[in-house]
A and B are shown apart, each in its own frame.
Chain A
Amino acid sequence: MMSRERNLATVPFWIKGLLGIALVMQLIWHQYTPSPRVSIKELTPPPSLEIVKSLSLGDPISTAKVLMLWLQAFDNQSGQFLSNKQLNYQALELWLERILQLDPRAQYPMLAASYQYAHVRDDPKRQRQMLEFVYQQFFADPEHRWMWLAHVAILAKHRLKDLQLALKYAQAITEHATPNMPRWAQEMQIFILEDMGELERAQLVIGGMLTKGNLTDANEIAFLAKKLEELEQKSQTVKQELQK
C-alpha cells in the first residue's frame, strides 16, 4: 500500500531551517515575556438571575454546580491563598444566594456558608453575616436545610457566645419542624434556654411538647419527663436561694 506521506528528505532544506528558526524564536519570545503577575481580583456581585439563567443555556443545575466550585476556589488565586477576611462578603452572599436560586435543592452553598465562610478569625461581623444568611435561606426549604441552621445555632452558642442568637435559630427549627426532622434538632432550644437560665421557659417548651401528643417514642417521652423534673428541681433551688 502506498504511504500517505512522502519521505522527510523530500522537504526542502530551507523549510527545515525555517522551522527550526521559528521554533527557537518562539522559545526566545517566551523567555523574554514577563512572567504572569500575581494580582488579586476582588469578588464582584453576580449578574441578575435572568442573565445567569439565559447564559446557562437552559441548564441551571450544571451552571450552579460550576459556579459553586468556582466560588469555592476563588480564595486560591494564582497560587496565593486569600483569607476569608480578604473576601467581599456582600458579594459572596449574593453569589451564594444566586447559586441557590439556580439550584434550590443544592446543599453545597449552605455548607460553604455555615462551615467555610462562617469561620473568619476575629471578625464576628462577617461570621454573623453568614449565620444570618443560613437563617434566611432555611425558610425556603426547612425540610432539607435544617441541619445547616442547627450547625449555625451551635456556632452562635459556642463561638459567638450569643445565646439569644442561638435561641432564635433553634426556635426557627422547632417552629418549622417537619416529620422527617430528628427530635434532637427540635429540642435544641430547651438546652439553650437552660444555659440562659430561662428555666421556666424551658419547662414550658417541654410541657408543650409532651401535651401536644406528637411524641411516640417511649424513651424520648421518658427523657423529656425526666428533664422536666430536673428543671423543676433546679428552678425550686434557684427560687429558694433567692428567698434566702
Chain B
Amino acid sequence: MLRQIRTLAIYVIQEALLTRFFAVILILLLLGFGLTAFLGQVAIIERQNIQCSLLAAFLRLSAVYAVSLFVITSMVREFNGHMLFLWLSLPLRRSVYFIGKLVGFTLVFSCVALIFSLALLIYAPYQQVSLWGLSLWCELLIVTCVSFLCVLTLHQMLQAFSAVVGFYIVARSIEAIQLMAQSPLNSQNLWQDQLVDGLIQLLAMLLPNLERFTQTGWLVYHSGNFNDLIMITEQTAVYVFLLMIMSLFDLYRKNL
C-alpha cells in the first residue's frame, strides 16, 4: 500500500514540475517583492511593518490561489484524460488512490509554504516566521482538502474553484459576519432576522475559523506564541479529518 501511495505522490510532483507550477510560485514571489518595494517607497514611517504585512498577505492569498487551482486542474485533467479509470482498473483501493493523491498535493504545497516563509525572513524573526509558515501549511492543507472535495463533487473547474473561493472567503470572514449579525442594531424579533442569524451560526459551526490562521500580526508585532499553533493544529486535524471522510464518501459512491 505504501508503495502505491508513493507512486501516486511522485506522479503528482512530476505533474507540478511539468506544468511549471513552481515557476508560477516564483513569479508570484517576485511580484510580491515588487509590490512591497513600491509601497515601501510611499510609506513615511513603519516601512518595514508595512512591507512585511503586505508581502505576507499577498503571499498567503497567492499560495491559496495557486494551490487550489493546481489541485482542481490536476483532478479535472485526471477525469478528462480518463486517468482515474485507469488507476482504479488496477488493483488499487479508492482510499489508497485518494491518500496517494493527497500526499502528493501535500508535498507540493509544503514546498510553497517553505519558499514563502523563507522570503519573509527578510522582515521578521525566524520564530514568528516559523509559526506563520506552519500555520500557512495547515491553511493550505485545509484548502487542498476542500479543493479535492469540490472537484470530486462538481467535476468542472469553474464550479469547483468558485466553491473553494466562496468557502475561503466565508471561512476567513465568519467571525466578522457573526459580529455583524449580533450587532445591537440588528433586530432579533423578526423571524427573518432569526433565520439569518441561525444560518450564520450554522455556517460558523461547519466552517473552520481561518481568521485565526496565518496572522500578519505575528510577523509585524511578534505576537504569535505556541498556544496559537496548538489551536491551529487541533482545528486543522479535526477539519481535515472531516473533509477527508467526506471526500472518501463521495469517491466511494461514484459509479466509475
Give the interface of A toward B (CB within 8 A).
Answer: 50-51, 53-59, 61-62, 65-66, 68-69, 72-73, 105-108, 111
Report yes or no: B220 in contact with A61, Cβ–Cβ below 8 A: yes
**Residues A66 and B42 in contact, CB atoms below 8 Å apart:** no
Is B216's CB under 8 angstroms from A50's CB? no
**Cross-chain contact A50 with B42 (CB below 8 angstroms):** no
Asked if B54 contacts A62 (CB within 8 A), the reply is: yes
Which of B15-23, B69-77, B167-175 lies at the interface? Answer: B167-175
Number of interface residues of B (CB under 8 A): 32
Specify which of B42, B172, B177 is in contact with A72 (CB 8 Å cutoff): B42
Some 10 contacts from A to B, beta carbons below 8 A apart, are: A58-B173, A59-B60, A61-B53, A61-B216, A61-B217, A62-B53, A62-B57, A65-B49, A69-B50, A108-B50
Interface hub of A57, A58, A111 (most chain B Cβ within 10 A): A58
Say which residue of B39, B45, B183 sits within 8 Å of A50 (CB atoms): B183
Question: Which B residues touch A69, using CB under 8 A?
Answer: 39, 42-43, 50
A58 near B42 with CB under 8 A, answer no
Q: Smallest CB-CB separation from B181: which chain A residue?
A: A50
- Hey, what's the 0/1 contact readout for B25-68 against A, CB within 8 Å counting as 1? 00000000000000100111110011001101100110000000
Query: Within 8 Å CB of A50, what residues of B?
Result: 176, 179-180, 183
Interface contacts beyond A51-B180, A61-B216: sample of 8 additional A-B pairs, CB < 8 Å, sorted by A = A53-B179, A55-B173, A57-B169, A59-B216, A65-B46, A69-B43, A72-B42, A111-B45
Task: Decide: A65 near B50, CB < 8 A? Known: A50-B183, A59-B216, A111-B45.
Answer: yes
Q: In the bound complex, do residue A106 and residue B46 qualify as a contact, i.e. CB atoms below 8 Å apart? A: yes
Task: Please indicate which of the listed interface residues A59, A61, A69, A106 has the most CB atoms of chain B within 10 Å of its own CB.
Answer: A61
Contact present for B45 and A54 (CB under 8 Å): no
Q: Check B45 against A108 for contact (C-beta < 8 Å).
A: yes
The reply to whether B44 and A58 form a contact with Cβ atoms under 8 Å apart is no
Q: B residues within 8 A CB of A55?
A: 173
Residues in B lying within 8 Å of A, measured CB to CB: 39, 42-46, 49-50, 53-54, 56-57, 60-61, 169, 172-173, 175-177, 179-180, 183, 210-213, 215-217, 220-221
Indicate if the CB atoms of A57 and B173 lie closer than 8 Å.
yes
Distance of A73 Cα from B41 Cα, bound (Å): 12
Contact of B44 with A111 in the complex, beta carbons under 8 Å:
yes
Least CB distance from A11 to B in Å reads: 26
| Contacting pair B177 A54 (CB below 8 A) | yes
In the bound complex, how far is the Cα of B46 from the Cα of A51, in angstroms? 26
The distance in angstroms between the C-alpha atoms of A163 and B130, with both chains bound, is 51
Bound together, the chains give a CA A61 to CA B220 distance in angstroms of 9
* B176 lies within 8 A of A53 (CB): yes
Q: Is the Cβ of B211 less than 8 Å from the Cβ of A58?
A: yes
Partner of A62, one of B56, B173, B177: B56
The CA of A57 and the CA of B215, in the complex, are separated in Å by 11
> Which of B44, B50, B176, B220 makes the CB contact (< 8 A) with A54?
B176
Contact assessment for B42 and A73 in the assembled complex, using a CB-CB cutoff below 8 Å:
yes
- The smallest beta-carbon distance between B39 and chain A, in angstroms, is 6
Bound-state CA distance A108–B39 (Å) is: 14
In the bound assembly, the distance between CA atoms of A77 and B169 in angstroms comes to 31
Most buried by A among B43, B46, B56: B46
CA of A68 to CA of B213, assembled, Å: 24
* A-chain residues with CB within 8 Å of residue B50 when the two chains form the complex: 65, 68-69, 108
